A and B are shown apart, each in its own frame.
Chain A
Amino acid sequence: MNRRRSRSSVDAQAVLETALVIPILLLLVCNFIALMVQVTVQQQMDAAVALAAESRFQAPNQAFDPAGARCCPDPRCCGVSSTGASLTTGGIPTGCRYAAETFYGTMQSYEKLLRWKTGPLCVTGGDSAGSAALGGAIPYAQSPANANVTCDVGSIGPDGVNHRGFLDHAFNPPRGLYSVTCDATARIDFSQTPLAWGVLWTPTIHAHAEALPPPFRQ
């Protein structure tokens, strides 16, 4: 009687061990894969903001989008139809739209995985000495507020007003140098993937890039 009980307790122990080890093993693997995905997405976002900031310089300094201009997502940047979330870019520097088109076009691969923290597309006047968000930059009056990327862009408006870009004191100290910065923030949402059961965290990733004007524009 005792021997039978001892054997069944050994069997139960083995089943218990297996029941414990297998989920832990799968949990570890799922989280490792999720970490690899996070690294990859971060790198893609870094590339997207870097190209976006550089794209601004392909537009003339004085160019502003006419009323009714739209972008992102749309057929020109992303090969998909415009949606209700597409950005209205009329009245803001064309360079901002270029930056947005570059960013949205580059970040298409992970669209289903990311939950964006939206903000103004186009801001002006940040300062690296400022402690506020984006160095205290303020949105252009007609900037859309629901963009996945925010770029600090200087320009000369149609009324002749000089909107300053981001003043970075790390360059040409102590006066600083005006540059273009782009920022994007998103949460990686694994709930739509097979990793959902094992990955219980939603990491937030952020990318920041700064581009200096080419020498002939400085």
Chain B
Amino acid sequence: MEGNWPDGVRPRPRRLRRCGAQATLEFAFVAPLFLLCFLAAVDSGLWAVQNSAEVAAVEAAARDAASAGTSPLSQTAPDARGVTAAIVGRLQQSLFATSVVPWCDPAKGMACAPPTSSSATSCAGSPCRFLACPITPRAVEDVFGPRVVAVCVHEVDAPQCGAPPPGVTAPYPPYCGDTPTITVRITGFIAALVPPGLGLGASGGELPTDVAATTHTLRFAP
């Protein structure tokens, strides 16, 4: 009997071969799509976990930063390094494969940001970027690399009150008696399962994030 077939193996019927090919084709078509959907679902879950941790962290950080720095008489908010140290423990656990850094000059021994002078235009050089929060997640990546989120603390003080000009009611200038506002922002790129080329991050494996909390703070006169 064996001699009836070439190589001694009975060939599969054509119909079976066609079915096998069709199954392979279907699998080749559906498998990547299924994998993409599966990764998207997993990734959105991871993103939600990471984002929730960030929201909780900025809320806590805003309270910390609004607590008048080192003493009730302090006139400035704690800098980003101090606030980051306060929240990095709880944040780092959720932001797996992502580094958390303060939005400060990374050069050793340097202040977080250059000292501000009376004229805002006098600052020059790359450290000046740390005077304000990064506008986009890309700005963080430019300084610290991929899969890094930066914690930024920004305080806005109301202008000093002065004597109003004739015909203008106090307070002058408007809002001069307001307490400062503190904004804590966590921005950058978090690690994700996004494949390269999907256009969500600068490179693959990351998603942009930008979470902020703003609050008023109370300053006691020294």
Contacts A29-B41, A51-B59; A66 near B52 (Cβ below 8 A) = no
CB-based contact B41/A32 at 8 Å:
yes
CB-based contact A76/B210 at 8 Å:
no
What B residues does A54 contact at CB under 8 A?
Answer: 63, 215
Contacts A69-B175, A76-B181; A58 near B37 (Cβ below 8 A) = no
- Judge if A170 is at the interface, Cβ distance under 8 Å: no
The A interface, classified by DSSP as helix, strand, loop or mixed, is: helix
CB-based contact A105/B212 at 8 Å:
yes
CB-based contact A98/B216 at 8 Å:
yes
Size category, A interface: 35 or more
* 13 sample A-B contacts, Cβ–Cβ < 8 Å, listed by A number: A10-B22, A22-B30, A25-B34, A28-B41, A29-B40, A32-B45, A33-B41, A43-B56, A47-B59, A55-B215, A68-B174, A77-B181, A98-B179
Contact string, A87-112, partner B, CB cutoff 8 A, digits 1/0? 00000001000100110011011000
A59 to B58, CA, bound (A): 22
- Judge if A36 is at the interface, Cβ distance under 8 Å: yes
Partner of B48, one of A36, A57, A68, A98: A36
The 5 A-B pairs with the shortest beta carbon distances in the complex, nearest first, are: A105-B214, A36-B48, A58-B216, A47-B59, A33-B44
Please report the number of residue pairs spanning A and B whose Cβ atoms sit closer than 8 angstroms: 112
- Judge if A182 is at the interface, Cβ distance under 8 Å: no
What A residues does B26 contact at CB under 8 A?
Answer: 14, 18
Q: Please list the residues of chain A having a beta carbon within 8 angstroms of any beta carbon in chain B.
A: 3, 7, 10-11, 14, 18, 21-22, 25-26, 28-29, 32-33, 36-37, 39-40, 43-44, 47-48, 50-51, 54-55, 57-59, 63, 66-69, 76-77, 94, 98, 101-102, 105-106, 108-109
Contacts A32-B41, A36-B44, A69-B174; A58 near B55 (Cβ below 8 A) = no
Contacts A29-B37, A58-B218, A102-B216; A40 near B181 (Cβ below 8 A) = no
A40 to B183, CA, bound (A): 19
B16 nearest CB across to chain A (Å): 12
Partner of A44, one of B15, B211, B218: B211
A109 to B185, CA, bound (A): 11
A108 nearest CB across to chain B (Å): 6
CB-based contact B55/A33 at 8 Å:
no
Most buried by A among B62, B169, B211, B215: B215
What B residues does A59 contact at CB under 8 A?
Answer: 179, 216
CB-based contact B179/A101 at 8 Å:
no
In the complex, residue of chain B having the shortest beta-carbon distance to the beta carbon of A95:
B216
CB-based contact B48/A39 at 8 Å:
yes
- Judge if B123 is at the interface, Cβ distance under 8 Å: no
A44 to B48, CA, bound (A): 12
- Judge if B189 is at the interface, Cβ distance under 8 Å: no
What A residues does B178 contact at CB under 8 A?
Answer: 94, 98
CB-based contact A33/B175 at 8 Å:
no
